[in-house]
Structure 1
Amino acid sequence: MNVVVIGAGALGAYFGIRLSEGGANVTFLVREKRARQIEENKLAVKSPQGDYTIKKPQLATDAAEIDQADLVLVCVKGYHLEGTLDNLKKLVDQGAHVLPVLNGIEHISYLQDKLGKDAVIGGLSFIIATLDEQGHVVHSSDFHQLVFGPLHSTQMPICKRLDELCKAANISGKLSGHILYELWKKYTFINAFSGVTTAANLPIGAIRKHNSTFLIVEMILQEMRTLAKAYHTEIAADDVEAAKTQLLNLPDEATSSMHQDRRKGLTLEVDHLHGGALRLAKAVGVDMPYTEAVYGLIKPFENA
């Protein structure tokens, strides 16, 4: 399979390296600064699942340089998605399918509008990873799951090909027949976890110590469940309880990636995640007061 990875941060680099390790022909479509770093230091992953290095990674800075593409993994932050469109259109014109590995839901319809409904597959991931000073991936969790599935019946062949590739690669791949449910379930968890930790500027342990603060987490979970139902996806009460249990059992120092970005003074995905939920809610007449309050508290730090 000819795979293009757009966004060679920790997420994109990790899955691109693993797919290359599994035998895929992987090209990393990156900005010039990142290309120079990779050319100098190679691409490598350090992981509990095994280390691996690509000594001569295939790089491109424009999709026009890529001759063949079957699948494009889009692994950028939500606020960078618009900047990928020109390259995505070139690759889709070659016949490639697009697998966005982003949190949230709003980007699915956005990409479908820009690229065509047949082109966009549903996907998400579960992984904890970062880049070190050399631009190498440091994978610090036991899990590295890539979940994907068709949003249109014509996409099943490419999804099955990716499923076979994941089995050959060092990746926990999951081909889901209910990918919208998987997307909404993760979105529900992420908006509660990232929203409250970022707004409070505290890790989960400090939030759990105060019932009134943890109540906000619970209310956002319920609001997201209501929103998902309005979009014809049923998040069960057991799913909400499982998310709550997971948050109660995380290590005290655990926090969300958006909170980590706030600590570092980086741009935050609050408009993509919580803003996206509020726009979807407005379109169907759903009230989300707790989500709206958290969004308002985070917004001043969005471009810090």
Structure 2
Amino acid sequence: MTLWHAARRLASSSSTAMRPLRVGVVGAGAVGTYFGVRLAELGHDVRFLVRKRHDAPKKLGVTSWQGDFVLEGPTIVREASELGDDLDWVLVGLKSTALEQENVLRDLLEPCVAPNTRVQLLMNGLGAEEKAAEIVDARRVHGGLVYGGLSRRGFDVNHAGVPCAIHGGSFVDDEAELAAAERLWTPVDREKPAGAVAYVPQPCLLLAQWSKLAWNVPFNGCTVLAAGADVGALWRDAAGREAAVAVMREVCRAANADLAARGSAASLDEEAVVARLSAVTDDMAQVDYVPSTTKDFREGRRMEVEAIFGEPLRRALANGVATPRLEAMAALLRVANDRVAPS
């Protein structure tokens, strides 16, 4: 036994707080693979569900300006039940389009979620946490907003752009659950590596989700409808900028109505959001940034229309908020989706 493994075993047996957590990764694309490998780098026991019938990789790697890491001999399983019945956490890195398939989340979670297993969803838009809470105790459901550009080639993942972070929250906004999530992203028995993911706890998960949608909805949608333009081309055009800001304002109003309807005192300051996100977009325009939905459109893949556009629109309509631009955008994106990649 190497000294490293001896130290890890000693740390695991001497302190419950230092025990490596057992984590199953469901949806091992760019997001799932990246965060799963980073968790292994922290010393946790990570298992990856890879359902496609090809040879299991002998290693999984991440390349990042924050630090590279290669996980040798990763644990790969073909069925959710093979992840084990002892998991502390299940990370779900599916694209939201997967939820268009009936019972897909139930089929993936029920075989591997034990009574004390927590579920961390790393998915775009709104609605996934509600679906998970129909399967798992709502108190053990977490949502997470991913920041950092991730792309996959083969089984390896490249990270570019801003430092990789998860803005995470408890579905029921439980402070104790936030502490449990912070524990997951803490090194087990070693120094914090250069590439460690920053976990940023969010007291109100729904507010954090709407805050991200305030940028994602206008810029993912407008760039697709502008024939797949990048953010810079849209933002430098006066009419394009005006359209994006108008949608941004509708999203803020829909967000505040949704938060109020769900009993939250939190809200978005519309003018502050427009000013902040305009400044962010000024920077993005300099590098001709292409949003994820637009990448899918350009490459002929099915876009995440329902989670990013459809569900916010449904909530706006349910709360009596007029969002005519969002309504038109969602309708056109649904048509484009079925033309580019029929379900």
The 5 Å alignment of 1:16-35 reads: 16-33=36-53
Q: Greater helix share, 1 or 2?
A: 1
Aligned residue in 2 for 1:299: 334
Q: Deviations over 1:254-295 (max 9, x none)?
A: 121110111101111112211111111122111211111222
Tell whether the 8 Å contact from 2:58 to 2:74 is kept in structure 1 after alignment: no
CA distance in 2, matches of 1:180, 1:163: 21
**1:32 counterpart SS class:** coil
Aligned residue in 2 for 1:256: 291
Q: What's the offset of the Cα at 1:48?
A: 0.6
The 5 Å alignment of 1:140-289 reads: 140-152=160-172, 153=174, 155-165=177-187, 168=192, 170-200=196-226, 201-232=228-259, 233-236=266-269, 237-250=271-284, 251=286, 253-289=288-324
CA distance in 1, matches of 2:28, 2:106: 16
Query: Residue type of the partner of 2:42?
Result: G
Tell whether the 8 Å contact from 1:206 to 1:252 is kept in structure 2 after alignment: no
CA distance in 2, matches of 1:163, 1:54: 17
CA distance in 1, matches of 2:187, 2:221: 35
Moved more, 225-234 or 294-303: 294-303
Tell whether the 8 Å contact from 2:42 to 2:185 is kept in structure 1 after alignment: no
Tell whether the 8 Å contact from 1:49 to 1:142 is kept in structure 2 after alignment: no
Give the share of equivalent positions with the same residue, in percent: 27
CA distance in 2, matches of 1:298, 1:151: 28
CA distance in 2, matches of 1:121, 1:11: 16
Query: Residue type of the partner of 1:281?
Result: A
With normalisation by structure 1, the TM-score equals: 0.91
Q: Which has the larger radius of gyration?
A: 2
Q: Quote the RMSD (CA, aligned, Å).
A: 2.0
Tell whether the 8 Å contact from 1:125 to 1:146 is kept in structure 2 after alignment: yes
Q: 1:124 to 1:18 in 2, by over 3 A?
A: same
Moved more, 194-203 or 79-88: 79-88
CA distance in 1, matches of 2:142, 2:239: 39
Q: 1:92 to 1:41 in 2, by over 3 A?
A: closer
Structure 2 residue corresponding to 1:78, chosen from 79, 96, 108: 96
Q: What's the offset of the Cα at 1:6?
A: 0.9
Aligned residue in 1 for 2:83: 66
Aligned residue in 2 for 1:127: 148
Q: How many residues align?
A: 300
Q: Deviations over 1:27-82 (max 9, x none)?
A: 1112133xx35x24521111111111111001122221122211111111111135
Query: Structure 1: where are the runs of 5+ without partners?
Result: none
**Is it true that 1:55 corresponds to 2:77 in the alignment?**
no
Query: Residue type of the partner of 1:247?
Result: T
Q: Deviations over 1:115-140 (max 9, x none)?
A: 331231121110101111x3210112
